[in-house]
Amino acid sequence: MTRRLSTQDDNFDAAFAELLHLKRETSAEVDDVVAAILADVQRRGDEAIIDYTKRFDHQTLTPETLAVSAEEIDAAVTATPADQRAALETAAARITAYHERQLPEDADWTDESGVRLGWRWTPVDAAGLYAPGGLASYPSSVLMNAIPAKAAGVERLALCVPTPNGEVNPLVLCAARLAGVTEVYRIGGAQAIGAMAYGTNTIGPVDVIVGPGNAFVAAAKRQVFGRVGIDSIAGPSEILVIADGENDPDWIALDLLSQAEHDQSAQSILITTDAAFGDAVETAVAKRLETLERRDIASASWQSSGAIITVPDLDIAASLANKIAAEHLELCVTEPRALAAKIKHAGALFLGRWTPEAVGDYVGGPNHVLPTARSSRHASGLSVMNFLKRSTMLECTPGALGAVGEAAETLAKAESLEAHGLSVRARLNALNEG
């Protein structure tokens, strides 16, 4: 039975809180296992990676076959059907154009004291990209992870994609070629994260690791953070749809199921101002679940974590949306921009009845790697900023140091850091002596 809530119910606050805090993330105790794998990779390098690949992916590799060769990638590109390659090219062009506009500008100015100030942005040297593997892998995620790095100016892009039993999706390799990936390795799991973080004889270490993965990959990213940068610790996918009664209920049902089919732990929520429309969507979801290819997964997700919430007006809908802080938020209403102005917390917004979230997954342009589990309250989706770092700049002329130096010396003395103060005083004395 679908979870139905209404703000008019006496127990709404308690029911909404329960929905908000459903534990959908994996409860498996993986940290100890991952820590052992990472330590082993750090100690034994290629040998450990090869052992874990044989154990988990049933594939025997050597240091010479860890990397996918250029010839194999050429063959995959050739094997990609023309319509699928054209779709990838369309997606890549749109994602590139969007992310190139995110590039920040350097700054340089002189203030009233004569101190020259500024900052400049520079890319990391190497980015590690992780893509789930096998025949059920997602070439769109390769584009979404690699293109922002390329747009940021990263020179080395290393992709790890597991190939269980030697199976690889040609589209993944085609996407890697289109996105400018420089290295592809047929490894996955925590061992792949360790290889990229620590480096081995075959795989050079990177500066930043991005990309989705299972619980072991997520735990590994968490444990190597600090040695390398990471994008986020992604949880199960989620969608929130705010819809009035003027929508086609089947469209909204499909939007909800588009995330439910990802994972049994995914979450799909509808907030509507029309209870009868909520009924119609519930019926449409049930009908679609009769024929959907991934109906077992989608049904489990909808039954365990899905919900339909009825509210009196869109102001209340926006208030609830800010508490949910969803990864994806569709605003299927007559005036979506007016409603969007009231939204503070969402990974990505999709405005209007003709903007299904699925367009954003592939060809919209914005990134589909987004904060989950309410983390959009403090985090943003993947962008070029994940691959850039800012260096500040400061330049004092003798006159500028004379204007600000004594204050610096005073504060150094207040903190009992004698050498700090003396390093300034030595210059001030020279300045005073002419």
| Strands (DSSP E) found in 39-125 | 107-110, 116-123
SS3 313: coil
CB distance 340 to 250 below 8 Å = no
Spell out the SS3 assignment of 388-424.
EEEEEEEECCHHHHHHHHHHHHHHHHHCCCHHHHHHH
- Tell me, yes or no, if 328 is annotated catalytic: yes
CA dihedral defined by 72, 52, 205, 370, rounded to 10 degrees? Answer: 80
Q: Is 282 a catalytic residue?
A: no
Tokens 């296992």 sit at which residue? 33
Q: Which of 262, 328, 330, 357 is catalytic?
A: 328
Token duo for residue 381: 């989706």
* CB-CB neighbours of 320 under 10 Å: 19
The set of residues, in sequence order, having a beta carbon less than 8 Å from that of 16 and lying 6+ positions away, is 5, 309, 320, 323
d(CA 176, CA 159): 8
Catalytic residue (one of 327, 330, 357, 368): 327
Alpha carbons 55 and 130: distance in angstroms, whole number:
19
Tokens of 32: 């100890």
Judged by DSSP in three states, 308 sits in strand
Dist. CA 270–CA 278, nearest whole Å:
8
* Tokens at 141, concatenated: 């995620």
Question: Helix or strand or coil: residue 220?
Answer: helix
* CA distances, 331 to each of 247, 312, 338, 374 (Å): 11, 16, 10, 18
Active site residues: 327-328
